[in-house]
Amino acid sequence: MSTLRLGRRSLVLGGGAVLGMTAVARRIAASSGTLLARFETSYLESAESRPRAFNVELAVSAIDGVAILPGKTFSFNHVVGERTAAFGFEKATVIRDRMVAEGTGGGTCQVASTMHAAALLAGLDIAERVPHSRPSKYIRMGLDATVAYPRLDLKIHNPRPDRVVVRARAARGSLVVMLEADAPERPSVHLVSEILERTPFPQTVERDSLAAPDVVRVKEHGIPGYRVLRTRDIRRADGVVWRDQRLDVYPPTAQRLVAAPRVDVTALAPPEDDVIAPEEPAPASPRLLDDPALRPTHIQLHPARQVALDNVAS
């Protein structure tokens, strides 16, 4: 079935021969030469995650081999196309309006995020990019990119005098994007993502007359908000260092509890970490029921304060 869908997608895109004027017009089969940067993320391959994994692999097949000519701009939406069943995409988990939901094409944001991080490390210009509304588990905050056809796009501009070729692979839970160039010159890039501020998440309570009087159930886990500063230093061949910075804001997501009408949720101990864990309250206090199976699997819950990357070892 996967082969049929990939074939149908190739037919819709005209075999991938021409991708328009903003992204480059050709796919390059052979290696271009100089590796500018490489970035890798992981994805799940379990039975329940298979539709999302398939979407990841399908989007990777669309961007692999695409070349960005000098002075031209790569558009993720233009190259990958609309994420619909007609293009072969399946329904999987997506983040829509700051909520986890099911949508066709879930997983393509991971491909966009991985490519965005590779482009940053390669010293390319980011012409358009929007961060997620929540921290993503598969990539560091400040490096992610959300895409939604046709509104939200990732656009990467090639400022180099030579073309840049995209090499992308996705197999056995590993997604790799490499950017190669014709010329041997490669800038030295140092990238830092730093959490400047962490905002506690608010909490709401739904009252349920059928709920047990001694149990408070977590209906949706809260996620803190973050202000993250991404700093990139690019040292070119002439020794000149060019710096660009980007401040991303990830708003907090409220935690939703369910309790009986007369339960005093203020008797619960405050959360000690990003997600409320089961408590052992005094006998007179309600007990918090927190099912680990309901915790968000695509959200980064314990991010480090600062992460530094560079393309020297790529």
Same structural domain for residues 264 and 172?
Answer: no
Please tell me the distance from the alpha carbon of residue 281 to that of residue 289, in angstroms, as a whole number.
12
Amino acid letter, 263: V
User: Coil, helix or strand for 53?
Assistant: helix
Confirm whether 176 is domain-assigned: yes
| Total structural domains within the chain | 2
Is residue 301 in some structural domain? no
Q: What is the mean pLDDT of each run of 10 residues along the chain (314 residues)?
A: 46 40 53 88 88 94 97 97 86 59 77 97 98 92 95 97 97 96 93 96 94 90 94 91 96 93 80 44 54 59 84 63
Same domain, 160 and 276: no
Residue 265 lies in a domain: yes
Share of the chain above pLDDT 70, in %: 74
Question: Could you tell me if 253 and 223 are in contact, meaning their C-beta atoms sit under 8 angstroms apart?
Answer: yes
Statement to judge: residues 172 and 23 lie in one domain: yes
Q: Are residues 234 and 268 in the same domain?
A: yes
Pair (240, 253) in one structural domain: yes
Residue 35 contacts residue 123 (beta carbons within 8 Å): no
Q: Could you tell me if residue 305 is inside a domain? A: no
Is 95 in the same domain as 221? no
pLDDT in tens, 67-97: 999 999 999 999 999 988 887 888 766 565 5
The predicted structure's pLDDT at residue 30: 59
Angle, CA 29 vertex, CA 23 and CA 30 arms, to 5°: 120
pTM assigned to the model: 0.80
Does 244 fall in a domain? yes
Task: Tell me, yes or no, whether 79 lies in a domain.
Answer: yes
Q: Are residues 146 and 11 in the same domain?
A: yes
Regarding whether 38 and 161 lie in a shared domain, the answer is yes
Q: Which helix (H) or strand (E) holds 165?
A: strand 164-171
Same domain, residue pair 91 and 110: yes
Residue 16 sits at the vertex; the CA angle it makes with 11 and 17, to the nearest 5 degrees, is 115
What is the model's pLDDT at position 273?
Answer: 47
- Distance spanning both ends of the chain, measured CA to CA: 35
- CATH number for position 230: 2.20.230
Domain span at 56:
2-186
Quote the tokens at residue 115.
Answer: 């490519």
- Mark which of 142, 161, 186 sits at the end of a domain: 186
Amino acid identity, position 176: V
* Together in a domain, 270 and 126: no
* CA-based radius of gyration for the chain: 22
Residue 255: strand pairing partners: 203
Q: Is 199 part of any domain?
A: yes
Inside any domain, residue 47? yes
Residues 80 and 133 in one domain: yes
